[in-house]
Amino acid sequence: MPVLLPLDHLSELWPNKFRGARIGALLHPASVSSKLEHASRILARYSGDLFRLAAFFGPQHGFLGQTQDNMVEWKGYDHPRLHIPVYSLYGDHREPTAEMLEGLDVLLVDLQDIGSRYYTFIWTLYLCMRACERCDVSMLVLDRPNPINGVTTEGPVLDHSYESFVGMHPIPVRHGRTIGELAQQFRDEAFPKCELSVLPMKNWQRAMWFDQTGLPWVIPSPNMPTLGTAAVYPGMCLCEGTNISEGRGTTRPFEIFGAPFIDAEKLCTDLNGLKLPGVFFRESYFQPTFQKFAGQPCAGAQIHVIDRERFQPFRVGVEIIKQIRNTCPEFKWKQPPYEYEWKRLPVEILIGGPIESVFGD
C-alpha cells in the first residue's frame, strides 16, 4: 500500500486543541502531498476552518528553493497571493525571532529530509524548537519518510564541541530517523518544555526506501535531484571539505566527483580494488558549469550503487578522499568559512569531530 502523508488527510488528523489556532508554517518545495499539491495551497484552503494561517517560514535554499548554492542567503518577503509574511531562516536569522513568532499559537513544520546529518533542514527544525520553547509557541511536525530507509545508521556521532549548522545535536551522519522522530528526540534531549505534536504517516515501514513508498520525488534542494543522490550524500558531502569537486555544476551532483589533477583510470582501479560492498566506480570526465573548477575539464569517477542494502556511503566517501589525498599532491583541505563556521576546518564540522578520528594523521 502506498504511504499516506499527514498532508494527505490533514483535516482528519488535525488536533482538536489546535482548532482555530493562529499558525505559521515552515515549508520548502518538497512540502507536497502525494498528489503533488504544495502544502501552502492546502493550508490556505483549510485556513478559516481548521486554523488561521498567518505566516510562512523557509529554510536554506529558500521557501521556493530558488537559491542554488550553500551560503547563499535569501531575504523574506510578502506572499503575493496570500499577503502574509514569508520569513527567511537562512539569512539575517537562522532561528525565528520573537517578532516572527509574535501572535502565533502553533508553528507547523513540513519538510522533506534526506537522512543525513549534514542536511540543514533538520537544524532549522532544531532552532525552531528552541525558539518555540522560549516563546511558548506549540510545534506541530508533519512526519515524512526517511528516503534512504529508517533502519541503517552509519558514521560518527557528533561531538558537542564540533557543533555547527551542519550538526547541532549528537546524532550519527546517517541517522536512520524520520523528521518526526528527530523532533521527538530533540524535544526529549534538548527542549523538554517544547510542546510538540507529530502527525504520523500511514503505511510507512522502516526498511522502505523512497521509491518503495509510492510517493513522488520532488527535489528538496537544488543539488538533490534524485533518490540516488540522497543515497550517496552521507559520504560524498565530505568532498565539500576538500578541493575535490563533488559534482556540483553537473547533472549528477555527489554521484560524480573529480578534479583536473586526478588520473581517473588509476583512481577507479584503486577504488574498485578495495572491493567496497555494493558499489562500482566508473571513470568519469566532466566540466562543471559552476562551483569548484567551473569551466575546467575534470577527471574522476561516477559512483554506481549496485546493491543499496550493502552500500556504505560514509565509508565510501572516506575511502575516496583517502585515495586522492594519498596519490595527488594537489589535494587540499578546504579552509573556513563554511556554513557559518569560521574557525574549524569544514571537513571537521562535517565529520562532527577531529579530522584525525576519520582520516588519521
Q: Provide the pLDDT for residue 294.
A: 97
Task: Look at the alpha carbons of 85, 90, 92, 94 in this order and tell me if their dihedral is positive or negative.
Answer: positive
pLDDT for 230-275, tens place per residue?
A: 999 999 999 999 999 999 999 999 999 999 999 999 999 999 999 9
Question: Residue 88: what are its φ and ψ, rounded to 5°?
Answer: -85, 130
Q: What is the mean pLDDT of residues 81-93?
A: 95
CB 67 within 8 A of CB 61: yes
Its CATH architecture, for the domain 6-212, is: 3-Layer(aba) Sandwich (3.40)
Q: Please state, in angstroms and rounded to a whole number, the distance separating the CA atoms of residues 25 and 141.
A: 10
Confidence of residue 71 (pLDDT cuts 50, 70, 90): low
Q: Does 68 score more than 70 pLDDT? A: no
pLDDT at 70 > cutoff 70: no
Name 9's Cβ contacts closer than 8 Å, sequence gap at least 6. none
Angle at 128 between CA 125 and CA 131, to 5 degrees: 155
Convert the pLDDT of each residue in 19-58 to its tens digit: 999 999 999 999 999 999 999 999 999 999 999 999 999 9
Q: Is the pTM of this model over 0.85?
A: yes
Beta-carbon contacts of 178 under 8 Å, excluding residues fewer than 6 positions away, are 113, 143, 144, 145, 146, 150, 201, 204
| Among candidate residues 77, 129, 79, 86, the one with its CA nearest the CA of residue 107 | 129
The predicted model gives 171-200 an average pLDDT of 98
Alpha-carbon distance of 133 to 125, in angstroms, equals: 12
What residues does each domain of the chain span?
A: 6-212, 227-359
Q: Which of 25, 53, 200 is nearest to 125 (CA)?
A: 25
Tell me the CATH class for 227-359: alpha beta
